[in-house]
């Protein structure tokens, strides 16, 4: 969960920046919200076109990843870039792509990824959520425009699951810091 801003004004709270793409892919984005919405429009058209073939096949993460890298690269070359950092397998606003066991866009790449020493291949889902919450708490403490709400997404053989937004517990005593969403909406 993030905010959408107009300049430095936090205009919209609880903006969801993670979306299922097809049956077995998730796309998360940071950066310009309108550019992310445009990408989702492109992907909706791609998924619709793929479903029209009715051949039993569907686009997987690699196909979506390749499509996104081409879209981002094409827009950059036309000097109308989409200002997003995307997480599917790692795509950024200048068309560079990479694969890794864990990735993060924006501040997360600088502040949260160093916590990766706690990550291991045999990590349980619950332990992974604990590490993710620790990373998000670090980001919350270091970004004045961050909101303490987040969502957890999981991809299994059955499909994509995205949790409802929930508030991250903080350790600040000041009431406004304990629930930043309520404070942002005026209930100090």
| Domains present along the chain, CATH in parentheses | 2-184 (3.60.20.10)
Taking residues 25-32, what's their average pLDDT?
86
| Helix or strand run (H / E) with residue 31 | strand 25-31
Please give the mean pLDDT across all residues of the chain: 80
Would you state the pLDDT for residue 89?
Answer: 45
Taking residues 55-80, what's their average pLDDT?
90
Would you state the pLDDT for residue 1?
Answer: 53
Taking residues 75-101, what's their average pLDDT?
77
Number of other residues whose CB lies within 10 A of the CB of residue 165? 14
Give the span between the Cα atoms of 71 and 81, in whole angstroms: 9
Give the span between the Cα atoms of 65 and 91, in whole angstroms: 8
Q: Is 21 helix (H, G, I), strand (E, B) or coil?
A: strand
Give the span between the Cα atoms of 130 and 82, in whole angstroms: 32
Taking residues 110-116, what's their average pLDDT?
74
Judge whether residue 76 has pLDDT over 70. Answer: yes
Would you state the pLDDT for residue 90?
Answer: 43
Environment class of residue 138 by beta-carbon count within 10 Å: exposed (0-12), middle (13-18) or buried (19+)? Answer: middle
Judge whether residue 172 has pLDDT over 80. Answer: no
Q: Sign of the C-alpha dihedral, residues 15, 21, 22, 26? A: negative
Environment class of residue 152 by beta-carbon count within 10 Å: exposed (0-12), middle (13-18) or buried (19+)? Answer: middle
Taking residues 102-121, what's their average pLDDT?
77
32-53, pLDDT tens digit by residue? 888 999 999 999 999 999 888 8
- Say what the alpha-carbon torsion angle 106, 152, 51, 61 is, to the nearest 10 degrees: 50
């Amino acid at each position: 969960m993030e905010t959408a801003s107009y300049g430095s004004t936090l205009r919209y709270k609880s903006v969801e920046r993670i979306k299922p793409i097809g049956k077995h892919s998730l796309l998360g984005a940071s950066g310009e919200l309108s550019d992310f919405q445009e990408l989702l429009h492109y992907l909706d058209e791609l998924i619709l076109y793929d479903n029209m073939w009715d051949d039993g096949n569907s686009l997987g993460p690699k196909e979506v990843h390749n499509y996104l890298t081409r879209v981002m690269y094409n827009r950059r070359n036309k000097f109308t870039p989409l200002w997003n950092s995307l997480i599917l397998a790692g795509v950024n606003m200048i068309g560079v792509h990479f694969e890794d066991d864990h990735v993060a866009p924006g501040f997360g790449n600088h502040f949260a990824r160093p916590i990766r020493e706690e990550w291991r291949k045999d990590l349980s889902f619950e332990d992974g959520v604990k590490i993710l919450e620790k990373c998000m708490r670090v980001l919350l403490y270091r970004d004045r425009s961050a909101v303490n709400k987040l969502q957890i997404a999981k991809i299994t053989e059955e499909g994509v699951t995205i949790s409802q937004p929930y508030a991250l517990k903080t350790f600040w005593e000041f009431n406004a810091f304990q629930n930043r969403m309520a404070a942002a909406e005026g209930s100090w």
